[in-house]
Amino acid sequence: MASLPSQRYSFSKSRTHPQSSRMTPEPKSTQKCKLSQKRKTLTFQLSMGGHLSPWPTYTSGQTILQNRKPCSDDSWKQVGSLKQYPMSTAKPRYLEQLENYLRKELLLLDLGKDSTQELRLQPYREIFEFFIEDFKTYKPLLSSIKNAYELMLAHQREKIRALEPLKAKLVTLNEDCNERIMAMRAEERYEISMLKKEKMNLLKLIDKKNEEKISLQTEVSKLRKNLAEEYLHYLSERDARKILIGDLNELRYQREDMSLAQSPGVWGEDPVKLTLALKMTRQDLTRTQMELNTMKANFGDVVPRRDFEMQEKINKDLQEQLDSLRADYEEVCKEHDSLLQMHMSTLKERDQFFSELQEIQRTSTPRPNWTKCEDVVAGGQERWHMLAADKNSDQLVDVLLEEIGEGLLREKDSFPGLGYGETIPTFLRFDGPVENKKPSKKEVVNILKDAWKERLAQEQKEKFPDFFFNFLERRFGPSDAIAWAYTIFENIKLFHTNEVMSQFYAVLMGKRTESVYINQKETVAQLQKEMTNADSQKVGLLSMEQFSNILKSTFPLKKEEQVQELMEAGGWHPNSNSSDLFNYRSLFMENEEGQSDPFVQKLWQQYVIEKDEYLRELKQELGLELHNEVTLSKMRRALMNIDPSLDKQTLSTYLSQAFQLPISELPEEGNEAEEGTKLCLRLVLEQLQVADVKRIGPRDIEPTS
């Protein structure tokens, strides 16, 4: 095969300084332009007429271009080694010029130290383009190969570009973890030092106790010794006493023996002497008898002293009883007089109220007969009884208005747009008629529940109205989002008695913060978890005693009456036994329209009452009228006085909500800026009413000893 003429393989390629041209990568548009120019030049110069000249296969391994410096020693050695082989067939001129061109390009790229790997592939890409353009027969196959590699390279570039932020994030996470580890180590070192100090103190205390033990043992040994000495002393005293008693008995016996020895001489006395003694004795007897008679005559009616003292004591007790009864009688008389006065005032009020009642009965309309609504409400008597159960007249009016409003709402085919005013919520800003989607209450409740789930699952960065509209766009598409926004808004504005709709409407319109709904759900979930943990058999049953204990442990600040109300809402009755079992899982069930069990409703009612009571105590503690201004420092002190258990973070949250300031911008306690921050008390209480405000601990905390 004849080789091509040499003049047709010369490359006419002008360049500037190679290093300066390769220091910075050129844009893709510039590279494509240069590539097209190179293609035109080589196509013009390299006319591939005829067939290619053959090339020996044994030389293919020696002419493979590698990515190394063209001017390096290894390349020259390799070229020198090529000269040693006999070249029976000359290398095609086209191949030699392509190799020379590739070496020059690689040399220029090597001189540019900052050239990237992507730029190093450019010479090979250009050579491949020359092959594709010149070999017309293999152009489709070579083009498909090139396109496959280009697609794979583009895919790899996209993956590298996507992984670069992850690499930076990994570095940031690594630094954060290192900082946490250092902080934990510092904390551990501090804790170890504190434990060592405590250990030294305990060792000193042990030594002190050991010394006290030794001193006590010494004192006990001394006392034992003294006790032994005293025992010996008393033993000797006992023996001496026995000896003395024996001696006394001996002396008494001796004296009796002596008296018996002298008794026979008595019968030898003089009879005259005995007669005189008898006469004197009779005289003494007569005188004593006379004195006795005189005493009987003088003191015959006298009471004995013992009886007198007893009677005197009884008399004293009776006198005390009489005094107490007299005081009670006077008190009863006073109460009787006050009751008489109260009775008279009550009679006057009764007459006044009776006259007012007659006047009201004369001027007012009669009490409505709610049974007339049974035939009007959809569902008939059964549904009306279900709607009217345990509701007063005001609540029945709301139910009736909802039923009427629901019918009117379904008759509407469209809603008028509210425009783009600043007072219009962002999700309702539209001009023109809006389609009424006419969903059922169940569908609206399911949409709202899904919105809450998505809101709780993501970070709450955007405002709730904006999130609501974005949620509708994601769910129904941008074209139907505004229609669904108007439809759902009209429904939740109408149905006040539905818990899900009323709570969502309050949060959507800014009448309540999201934290109120979130904390209420967390409280119910925590209570359900406690009951599930107490159910050891996992059968869904608990005793009333367990139910009461769980309520008291979960809500330690609730009064006994409030706990009893919750138990009654859960199914407890005064005549129920504490061991009776009930299904606690039914307390947390909801119907298809989102209405919860009376137990959960009672929890919400108690929460609202407790919040109102908390704010009322706060107002009393401040001692200001609603139109007066309150400073930030005074509000801080008042909150700590009525709720001493408030932690610093919760207190800052309450103050931030009350004065509408970010927590980071709140002045420090005792700062002059704190005294200068003022706001109307009525506005402060309204802003606290919107947020999740509740008591953290008891008002009166006993001081710890």
- Select the more confidently predicted residue: 205 or 626: 205
Tell me the DSSP string of 388-428: HTT--HHHHHHHHHHHHHHHHHHH-SEEE--BS-TTS-GGG
Least confident span in 144-158, 288-302, 367-381: 367-381
Write out pLDDT tens, residues 642-676. 888 888 888 888 888 888 888 887 877 766 666 67
Q: Is the pLDDT of residue 224 over 70?
A: yes
Residue of 504, 531, 521, 519 whose CA lies nearest to 587: 531
End-to-end distance of the chain based on CA atoms, in angstroms?
Answer: 111
Query: What mean pLDDT is predicted for residues 494-521?
Result: 85
Q: Is the pLDDT of residue 526 over 80?
A: yes
Q: How far apart are CA 245 and CA 124, in angstroms?
A: 141
Q: How far apart are CA 577 and CA 547, in angstroms?
A: 12
| pLDDT at position 181 | 94
- Select the more confidently predicted residue: 157 or 626: 157
Using pLDDT thresholds of 50, 70 and 90, give the confidence band for residue 454.
confident
- Select the more confidently predicted residue: 405 or 280: 280
| pLDDT at position 196 | 93
Residue listed under structure tokens 């008939």: 380
Q: Is the pLDDT of residue 200 over 90?
A: yes
HSE of 86, CA atoms in CB hemisphere, 13 A: 1
Q: How far apart are CA 392 and CA 382, in angstroms?
A: 18
* Residue 694, Ramachandran bin (φ over 0: left; ψ between -120 and 50: alpha; else beta): beta
Q: Is the pLDDT of residue 587 over 70?
A: yes
Residue listed under structure tokens 């396109």: 147
DSSP-derived 3-state class of residue 678: strand
Q: Are 645 and 697 in contact (CB under 8 A)?
A: yes
Q: pLDDT > 70: what percent of the chain?
A: 77
Q: Alpha-carbon torsion 166, 171, 176, 182, what sign?
A: positive
Write out pLDDT tens, residues 167-189. 888 999 999 999 999 999 999 99
| pLDDT at position 441 | 84
Least confident span in 301-310, 336-345, 688-697: 301-310
Write out pLDDT tens, residues 528-546. 888 888 888 888 888 888 8
Whole-number average pLDDT of the chain: 78
Q: Is the pLDDT of residue 234 over 80?
A: yes
* pTM passes above 0.75: no
Query: What mean pLDDT is predicted for residues 138-164?
Result: 89
Query: What mean pLDDT is predicted for residues 551-555?
Result: 87
Q: Is the pLDDT of residue 704 over 60?
A: no
Tokens of 239: 């023996």
- Select the more confidently predicted residue: 703 or 136: 136
Q: How far apart are CA 141 and CA 137, in angstroms?
A: 9
b/e for 529-557, b at 16 or more Cβ within 10 A? Answer: ebbeeeeeeeeeebebebbbebbeeebee
**Going by C-beta distance under 8 Å and a sequence separation of 6 or more, which residues neighbour residue 662?**
656
HSE of 198, CA atoms in CB hemisphere, 13 A: 6
Query: What mean pLDDT is predicted for residues 388-408?
Result: 71
C-beta contacts of 697-704 below 8 A and 24+ residues apart: 697/557, 697/643, 697/644, 697/645, 697/646, 698/557, 698/645, 699/617, 699/642, 699/643, 699/644, 701/644, 701/645
Tokens of 144: 């498909």
Query: What mean pLDDT is predicted for residues 96-100?
Result: 85
Q: Are 478 and 438 in contact (CB under 8 A)?
A: no
Task: Kindly state the greatest CA–CA separation across the chain.
Answer: 205
Work out the angle at residue 107's Cα, subtended by the Cα atoms of residues 102 and 109, and round it to the nearest 5 degrees.
Answer: 95
C-beta contacts of 425-431 below 8 A and 24+ residues apart: 425/465, 425/508, 425/509, 426/465, 426/466, 426/469, 427/465, 427/466, 427/468, 427/469, 427/472, 427/482, 427/485, 427/489, 428/485, 428/486, 428/489, 430/482, 430/486
Query: What mean pLDDT is predicted for residues 319-331?
Result: 92
Q: pLDDT > 90: what percent of the chain?
A: 11
Tokens of 667: 């002045």
